[in-house]
Homo-oligomer: A and B are copies of this chain.
Amino acid sequence: MSAHNVVRDFTRTDASILEGLATLGVSTVHEADQRRGALSPAIRPIQAGVRIAGSAVTVRCPAGDNLMIHAAVETCRPGDVLVVTTAAPSTHGMLGELLAVSLRARGVIGVVMDAGVRDVAELRAMGFPVWTRAVSPLGTTKANPGSVNVPVVCDGQDVAPGDAVVADDDGVVVVPRDRAAAVLEAGRARVSAEDAKRAQLATGELGVDMYDLRPLLADLGVAYLDGPSG
């Protein structure tokens, strides 16, 4: 195997599972996968109110060069999410409007960028969602090699091609493809439980009672004091 590869195809997460994960959202999916796979707060959405889930097409570029994003486009299919990493830290604008037009033409539903993007006004106008470390006009070269659809580390999390990528206003979470079905099931159970809890809490019932936390507080030695005006 060469040091630089474009893998043309790979197994994707089932569309029906992705649809379910998109409904759950990032924080619920993260909980349902035992609190794994969340990118850090440094990767932020450039828009508000969008929630997506798709299979990862992974790209590994040199810092400041987006040749491999161009190479990745033809491996994309409808419903995919492009995940771009760089070999060294960088805030270059690795992707702008033109690449977004090209990705959309292939059916890509969003981008997770561990570097920078530009043309954000145009991206927002297109309704093309992006989660990124930086917004920057700094241009890139198209001159240096990297890889497409190999396992990458994005903001400290492993992402393999075909893994489920869920993104919304809370950030981004990655679920390995072989856990996605179980995570969806666990997430749905969690949502059901939360619906009941939400209704209880909305009536003024206290979490310390609903979750039965008073014995724990007592065990931990937390004392209750009346206070100056009690």
Task: Say yes or no: B135 contacts A171, CB within 8 Å.
Answer: yes
Cβ of A141: which chain B residues have Cβ within 8 Å of it? 144
Contact code string A55-94 (vs B, CB < 8 Å = 1, else 0): 0000000111001101101100000000000011111110
Task: Say yes or no: B225 contacts A96, CB within 8 Å.
Answer: no
Per the bound structure, the CA–CA distance linking A217 and B66 in Å amounts to 12
Per the bound structure, the CA–CA distance linking A180 and B106 in Å amounts to 38
Per the bound structure, the CA–CA distance linking A144 and B89 in Å amounts to 18
A2 at the interface (CB under 8 A from B): yes
A101 at the interface (CB under 8 A from B): yes
Contact code string A218-230 (vs B, CB < 8 Å = 1, else 0): 0011111111111
Q: How many residues does chain A have at the interface if contact means C-beta atoms less than 8 Å apart? A: 109
A2 shortest CB reach to chain B, Å: 4
| Residues of A contacting B: mostly | loop
A153-197 interface with B by 8 A CB criterion: 153, 155-158, 161, 168-171, 173, 194, 197
A: which residues have CB within 8 A of B? 1-11, 25-27, 29-31, 34-36, 38, 40-41, 44, 48-49, 51, 62-64, 67-68, 70-71, 73-74, 87-93, 96-99, 101-102, 104-106, 116, 118-121, 124, 134-139, 141-147, 149, 151, 153, 155-158, 161, 168-171, 173, 194, 197-198, 201-204, 206-208, 211, 213, 216-217, 220-230
